């Protein structure tokens, strides 16, 4: 009687030696019933293993999911409670920071590995250059601006590229400022950050704004 591990090993061997037959072999392995209509015991083992691993993973992740949902409810702050934390840009912050650090230039190049790959590599390179041009990658880029607001002030400015569009912000430094909402406005080459409440005496807040240049 074949074991699950031996059957999977044989399927891998088929994939390596007879790739054209792999689909048929995989369908035979994953079919609920054999050709004679009898239950496929290997299929049952696979389903049982998947269910066991899913249950184990769910039990492990469930507590963390609950914790993250509680944090999400706190940061979302739909009621706009001024005594609660609220950051409407939280959901895109990871992508924004990643985009700001990403060097958005076409540097990839397909190279032929064996005979017959020259035309394919040339086609790939042409496709990448076409996409780069169509997406205006040469014109679109990111920039950041740091603005520090202190004491009783509620706004600050920085010089940016004309026409830049603010797409997010995050705090780089602060000293227990009061809860506040942030407004970002670009006029010409001036970025203005305005807080709904001043940081307060002896307090300060430094905001890094990420902008899409156009």
Instruction: Give the span between the Cα atoms of 72 and 133, in whole angstroms.
Output: 38
Residue 73 exposed, middle or buried by CB count within 10 Å (0-12, 13-18, 19+): exposed
Share of the chain above pLDDT 70, in %: 76
The end-to-end CA distance of the chain, in Å, is 66
Rounded to the nearest angstrom, the gap between the alpha carbon of residue 184 and the centroid of all alpha carbons in its chain is 24
Kindly indicate the confidence band of residue 84, based on its pLDDT and cuts at 50, 70 and 90.
low
Cα 162 to Cα 3, 64, 100, 212: the distances in Å are: 67, 43, 18, 11
Instruction: Give the span between the Cα atoms of 170 and 93, in whole angstroms.
Output: 8
Residue 145 exposed, middle or buried by CB count within 10 Å (0-12, 13-18, 19+): buried
Is the pTM here over 0.85, yes or no? no
Check residue 192 and give its pLDDT.
94
pLDDT digits (tens, 9 = 90+) for 165-189: 888 888 888 786 666 788 899 999 9
pLDDT digits (tens, 9 = 90+) for 92-125: 555 566 655 655 567 778 888 888 888 888 888 8
CB distance 149 to 156 below 8 Å: yes
């Amino acid at each position: 009687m074949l074991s699950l591990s031996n059957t999977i090993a044989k399927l891998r061997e088929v994939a390596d030696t007879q790739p054209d037959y792999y689909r048929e072999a995989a369908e035979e392995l994953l079919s609920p019933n054999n050709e004679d209509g009898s239950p496929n015991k290997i299929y049952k083992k696979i389903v049982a293993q998947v269910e066991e691993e899913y249950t184990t993973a769910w039990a492990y992740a469930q507590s963390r999911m609950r914790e993250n949902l509680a944090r999400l409810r706190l940061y979302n702050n739909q009621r706009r409670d001024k005594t609660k934390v609220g950051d409407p840009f939280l959901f895109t912050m990871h992508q924004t920071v990643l985009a700001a650090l990403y060097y958005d230039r076409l540097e990839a190049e397909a190279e032929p590995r064996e005979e017959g790959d020259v035309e394919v590599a040339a086609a790939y390179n042409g496709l990448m250059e076409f996409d780069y041009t169509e997406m205006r990658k040469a014109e679109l880029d990111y920039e950041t601006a740091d603005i520090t607001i202190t004491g009783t002030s509620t706004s600050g400015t920085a010089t940016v590229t004309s026409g830049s569009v603010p797409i997010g912000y995050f705090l780089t430094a602060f000293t227990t400022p009061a809860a506040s909402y942030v407004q970002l406005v670009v006029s010409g080459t001036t970025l203005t950050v305005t807080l709904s409440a001043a940081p307060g005496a002896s307090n300060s807040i430094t905001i890094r704004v990420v902008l899409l240049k156009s």
